[in-house]
Amino acid sequence: MADIISNARARHEYHILETFEAGIVLRGTEVKSIRAGRAQISDAFARVEQGQVWLYNVHIDEYSFGNVHNHAPKGKRRLLLHKSEIRKLFGLASVKGHTIVPLSFYWKNNRVKVGLAVGKGKVDFDKREDLKRREADRDMKRALQRSNRS
């Protein structure tokens, strides 16, 4: 399952606590725009409202070959989850500092799915630590490659 759209900022900005897979209610023109890769989820977030999960700030460009019935680029979109998953999401997200963010849109059985995560916001110190760890791993891999060559 290759990602159509991914949210790289989410893993940088949040500690990912738990992930979920959700369906999304889309119109035909929205699916065609997503298939063309014309969507952004970098500022998106989800909320549980009245027993349903809604996705906000997802920008899906208008379909260029659409007509007067084209979709609005920004708007809230309903996510499809089981009731038990919604209850679990609500419990996790109600803790102070936790939020629900989309990680990616991907295809599964010819349907668009959303990878959701409950995340806890990182502080600058955590972000710097992640960058240091990633750089150290990269340096170790380079050193191993050099030693394997000789």
What CATH number has the domain bearing residue 45? Answer: 2.40.280.10
Q: What is the largest CA-CA distance in the chain?
A: 66
| Residue 142 included in any domain | no
Share of the chain above pLDDT 70, in %: 92
148 vs 150: CA distance, rounded Å: 6
| Residue 144 included in any domain | no
Helix (H, G, I), strand (E, B) or coil at 131: helix
Between 56 and 37, the more confident residue is 56
| Residue ranges making up the domain that contains 76 | 3-123
At 58 the pLDDT is: 87
40 vs 52: CA distance, rounded Å: 22
| Residue 140 included in any domain | no
Whether residue 43 has pLDDT greater than 80: yes
User: Which run of H or of E encompasses 145?
Assistant: helix 124-149
| Residue 63 included in any domain | yes
| Residue 141 included in any domain | no
Q: What is the mean pLDDT of the chain?
A: 85
Whether residue 64 has pLDDT greater than 90: no
What's the structural domain count of the chain?
A: 1
Whether residue 122 has pLDDT greater than 90: no
Question: How far is CA 111 from its chain centroid?
Answer: 16
At 1 the pLDDT is: 62
At 102 the pLDDT is: 93
Whether residue 21 has pLDDT greater than 90: yes
Q: How confident is the model at residue 72 (pLDDT cuts 50, 70, 90)?
A: low
| Residue 136 included in any domain | no
| Residue 147 included in any domain | no
Give exposure, 1-27, as e/b (b: 16+ Cβ within 10 Å): eeebbbbeebbebbeeeeebebebebb
